[in-house]
Amino acid sequence: MSRIEIIPAIDIIEGRCVRLSQGDYERSRVYDASPVDMAKRYADCGVKRIHVVDLDGAKSSSPKNLKTLERMAVGSGVEIEWGGGIKSEESLRALFDYGATYAIVGSVAAQQPMLFAEWLEQFGGNKMVLGADVRNGKVSVNGWQEDLAVTIEELIDGFLPHGLNQVICTDITKDGMLQGPSDELYVELQERYSGVDFTVSGGIGSMADIERLNEKNLRKVIIGKAIYENRITLKDIERWLLNA
């Protein structure tokens, strides 16, 4: 059994690395490192994939940091999964043109499921990732500013026939709080949908959290704030990857 894959996160506002707490733009903290530099550092650790959220794009409904994406893709050589503001096929194609390996779609998938189903069939499940942000069991959209009545299971069920095989699920109540993820949520989802790769997102505060998720046979995990706050170091990540 392979170990859980660590996917470091980079959130971007105006070309700079930031972290939010519980998705609140008013509770953001700016960090000194540039996204391009961070991508290089992760690549040097042996990371194969990084998770990038264009927070400007999420708020304005179209990608806003494509030049940064291009520099990250060229400079690091890692695979980039990119989300934030993907509301049209034009935006989607632009992401891939600028160097994204995967596109994360959340709000459109929840609010215009037929459109996301078309994208899945057109671009393939190997490039399209469902971004399911959950608060109290319900899916949240538009930069976590609006909660819908649909559950994550209902959302996933609708896309399975169209080739869905990658889902990033973020528990908003845990995100940025460094108090541990919602383990059971992810275990239940992974057991229910064995053909889908679920990525744990939100709440990771230590390598102990990673160890625990690994023991539960979860496949992927995103780490963000814990790295910036030095709860998890680049050395920790490097050691984990060397033993994978």
Q: Which two tokens stand for residue 151?
A: 């559950």
| pLDDT score, position 35 | 92
- Residue 180: give its domain's CATH number: 3.20.20.70
Cα(196)–Cα(193) distance, integer angstroms: 6
Q: Are 195 and 165 in contact (CB under 8 A)?
A: yes
| pLDDT score, position 1 | 65
| pLDDT score, position 32 | 62
Q: Are 54 and 82 in contact (CB under 8 A)?
A: yes
Phi/psi class of residue 100: alpha, beta or left (left: φ > 0; alpha: ψ in -120 to 50)? beta
> Which amino acids are annotated catalytic?
11, 133
pLDDT along the chain (244 residues), means of 10: 92 83 62 85 96 90 92 93 94 97 94 97 98 89 78 96 97 83 95 98 95 97 90 96 86
Q: Which residues pair with 171 in a beta bridge?
A: 134
Q: Name the residue range of residue 229's domain.
A: 5-242
Q: Which two tokens stand for residue 134?
A: 């959950």
| pLDDT score, position 51 | 97
| pLDDT score, position 60 | 84
The reply to whether the predicted model has a pTM over 0.85 is yes
- Find, among 60, 57, 132, the residue nearest to 98 by Cα: 57
| pLDDT score, position 21 | 62
Burial class (CB in 10 A: 0-12, 13-18, 19+), 24: middle
Cα(175)–Cα(143) distance, integer angstroms: 13
| pLDDT score, position 128 | 98
| pLDDT score, position 26 | 64
Q: Measured on CA atoms in the order 207, 213, 217, 220, is the torsion positive or negative?
A: negative
Domain count of the fold of the chain:
1
